[in-house]
Amino acid sequence: MSEERVLEFVVPPESARQRADRFVADRGGLSRTFAQRLISEGHLTMNGVVIRASVTLLAGATLRLVIPPVAESEMLAEAIPLSVVYEDDDLLVVDKPAGLVVHPAPGHATGTLVNALLHHTEELPGIAGVARPGLVHRLDKDTSGLLIVAKGDLAQSSLMAQLKARRVKKTYMALVQGSVAAEVGRIEAPIGRDPSERKRMAVVAGGREATTGYRVKERFAGWTLLEVDLVTGRTHQIRVHLTEIGHPIAGDPTYGNGTSRRGPEGTTRLFLHAWRIAFTHPRDGRLMRLEAPLPPDLQAPLDALRLHASREG
């Protein structure tokens, strides 16, 4: 358990009439949900009187917010190797390998990225009152690449707001079957559960809005390497959208056909890698642009395609 923290603020004139929960969340670097929980538990006073989250503030009033000690997480810390691309006191960015589940869930209580993070970051400041890393976005188990992890409420709140405003730019590498006609394209099609197979996603009427952009990076006989921009973040979005336009991803056992599932020579898994991410640092506003090169298991089929092309040429 960590020690209790106390935050005190004097309400400036420009913040008069603002809601208490919004003010203390912004000034204290807390998520609004966590701030509301603390207030509902009686931890916020204005001029010595306990107030509710919806109370409007008075200019010059003194607010005092008590943040109880951070509780230990019930999730296990495990010594699972991590590839850390960037780390500071607020966040870290990891290069997740394919096959690693991101978060504990039924059937995956241990052996996940979160379990590895709890071991790596031994002194988490805590998010929403619990010592745990803050996953602000996710990757499928079979997708490799970059993931941002918040260490505290300030980072989590900022990064979640950036994601909601679509100011976090995520770019993937995908090798797809066939020759993609347009050098640059944009797919806008709603995604929801496949009505005939509930474990799959599909383009369906009434699904959630989904947008994917792409650019051709390299062409081969029968295959195209794409840079893919994930504008929205729906489950299996890139896989579903590329299949929808007739270009399933190499090595995809769920959405591919016979040829694409096998992939070119050297394919051992889904050829989808989150290789670049760009966002604003939550504390100092720096533009963060980070990259993770293709791992060896994805580089191998590319090398085989290039070798074949050179022989044909």
Residue 97's φ and ψ, nearest 5 degrees, are -80, 155
The residue from 21, 48, 67 where one domain ends is: 67
The residue from 103, 136, 165 where one domain ends is: 165
103 in the same domain as 78? yes
Total domains, the chain: 3
Q: Assess if residue 153 is contained within a domain.
A: yes
Q: Assess if residue 290 is contained within a domain.
A: no
3-state SS of 176-237 is EECCCCCCEEEEECCEEEECCEEEEEEECCCCECCEEEEEEEEEECCEEEEEEEECCCCCCH
Question: What pTM value is reported for the model?
Answer: 0.82
253 in the same domain as 221? yes
Consecutive H or E run containing 287? strand 287-291
pLDDT at 256: 92
192 in the same domain as 266? yes
pLDDT at 123: 61
Cα–Cα distance, 230 to 274 (Å, whole number): 10
Dihedral angle at the C-alpha atoms of 34, 37, 43, 47, nearest 10 degrees? 90
* 3-class secondary structure, 264: coil
Tell me the CATH number at 149: 3.30.2350.10
What is the span of the domain harbouring residue 258? Answer: 170-274+298-312
Name the burial class of residue 4, with classes exposed (0-12), middle (13-18) and buried (19+) by CB atoms within 10 angstroms of its CB: exposed
pLDDT at 55: 93
Measured from the Cβ of residue 94, the count of other Cβ atoms closer than 10 Å reads: 23
Q: Assess if residue 24 is contained within a domain.
A: yes
Residues 6+ apart with CB under 8 A from 159: 91, 134, 136, 148, 150, 168, 279, 282
Cα–Cα distance, 251 to 290 (Å, whole number): 26
Cα–Cα distance, 208 to 189 (Å, whole number): 8
Tokens 């006073």 label which residue? 45
179 in the same domain as 160? no
Query: What separation in angstroms does the CA of 17 have from each of 20, 56, 59, 61?
Result: 9, 5, 8, 11
pLDDT at 43: 93
155 in the same domain as 85? yes
From 140, 153, 252, 297, active-site residue = 140
Q: Assess if residue 130 is contained within a domain.
A: yes
Residue 240's φ and ψ, nearest 5 degrees, are -70, -45
185 in the same domain as 159? no
284 part of the active site: no
Q: What is the pLDDT along the chain (313 residues), one digit of tens a residue?
A: 457 788 899 999 999 999 999 998 888 877 788 889 899 999 999 999 999 999 999 999 999 999 887 666 677 888 999 999 999 999 999 999 999 998 877 667 788 898 899 888 866 666 666 666 788 888 999 999 999 999 888 888 889 889 989 999 999 999 999 999 999 999 999 999 999 998 899 999 999 999 999 999 999 999 999 999 999 999 999 999 999 999 999 999 999 999 999 999 999 999 999 999 999 999 999 999 999 999 999 999 999 999 988 887 6
pLDDT at 2: 57
Q: Are 237 and 191 in contact (CB under 8 A)?
A: yes
pLDDT at 9: 92
96 in the same domain as 147? yes
Tell me the CATH number at 12: 3.10.290.10
